Homo-oligomer: A and B are copies of this chain.
Amino acid sequence: MDRIRRNERLAAMTRILVESPNKIVTLGTFCEMFGAAKSTLSEDIDILRNVFAQFHLGQLDTVTGAAGGVRYRPVPSAEDAYAFVKDLAQMLSAPGRLLPGGFVYMADILATPELMEKMGAVIAAQYYRAEPDFVLTMETKGIPVAMMTAKALGVPMVIVRRDSKVYEGPAVNINYLSGSGGRVETMSLSRRTVREGQRALIVDDFMRAGGTARGMVDMMREFSVTVVGVCVMAATQEPVKKRIEGVKSLLVIEGTDEADNTISIRPAAWLASGAEKGK
């Protein structure tokens, strides 16, 4: 292969790093790919780090040590994260989204890859330090955001089912209290999905009382897995006291009014204060 020029190499390196967030690519891999010296590649990485920072395109870290190399994380700036969630709040406040019973229609947003990828990056940015081994969610609506969070964290996703399936093998079933009313329901997780001692990040689309998330925490206890965080796209303001503590939500649903046909939804305070500090 011909020796390629720096600008070509930088484009190819960008494409490769961005494709595998939070995975360490060794300098050796790039050396072999481009036939360039390590010192040259170190300079390349310095250039990339600066250009990513300048255009708010994410974060490039050099990891030292035996398993060292370079790692890309799609971390948005606090301002960009806040602006994204504020836009979402505005989309979700459209009166046409109010459904009978005071529910807010969110299915379209939850199934738009671009939005879910950005949301996954906003959520993942909060949990890189916690080093989860997988992202846990409950079927169905939370799957896309959990998937994109897992992608940004460079880990697999694990899906809790409403009942055990023949094609998932032996499973652990538990009962949990769902909904504000406290109906008893069942959730099921295949035994081969996770291993004792792993670390889980729970991600879901929506939380009211927190019963489902609480169920997932209980499920993780059955597997001797540590829960490092619980994050949802939107949580209702009421009840203030959820069945679980330490929950982060991106959006707060303050209330809906079927008589006036209004939805009141806003970014969570931690996002607003993050953006304020960043200024």
Contact = CB atoms under 8 A, between A and B. Distances in A.
A104 interface: yes
A156 to B, nearest CB: 5
A47 B11 contact: yes
A104 B140 CA distance: 22
| Interface residues of A, dominant DSSP | helix
A143 B150 CA distance: 14
Nearest to A55: B12
A111 interface: yes
Given A20-B114, A101-B166, A144-B157, A7 B7 contact: yes
A11 B14 contact: yes
Contacts of A144: 143, 147, 157
A103 interface: yes
Contacts of A58: 15
A7 B4 contact: no
Contacts of A57: 12, 15-16
Contact of A147 (B101, B111, B190): B111
B147 A161 contact: no
Contact of A158 (B52, B111, B158): B111
Contact of A47 (B7, B47, B103, B158): B7
B107 A159 contact: yes
A130 to B, nearest CB: 18
A151 B8 contact: no
Given A111-B147, A157-B111, A51 B12 contact: yes
A19 B116 CA distance: 12
A52 B15 contact: yes
A31 interface: no
Given A10-B10, A15-B14, A15-B57, A167 B105 contact: yes
A264 interface: no
23 contacts: A7-B10, A8-B47, A8-B51, A8-B54, A11-B47, A11-B52, A12-B57, A14-B14, A14-B18, A18-B18, A99-B167, A101-B166, A105-B167, A108-B193, A111-B156, A111-B157, A111-B159, A112-B157, A113-B147, A139-B139, A143-B143, A144-B157, A147-B147
Given A14-B15, A18-B19, A140-B161, 12 more contacts: A7-B7, A7-B47, A8-B54, A10-B14, A11-B13, A11-B52, A12-B55, A16-B57, A18-B18, A103-B167, A106-B167, A139-B140
Closest 7 CB pairs of A and B: A113-B151, A7-B7, A14-B14, A103-B167, A8-B51, A111-B157, A139-B140
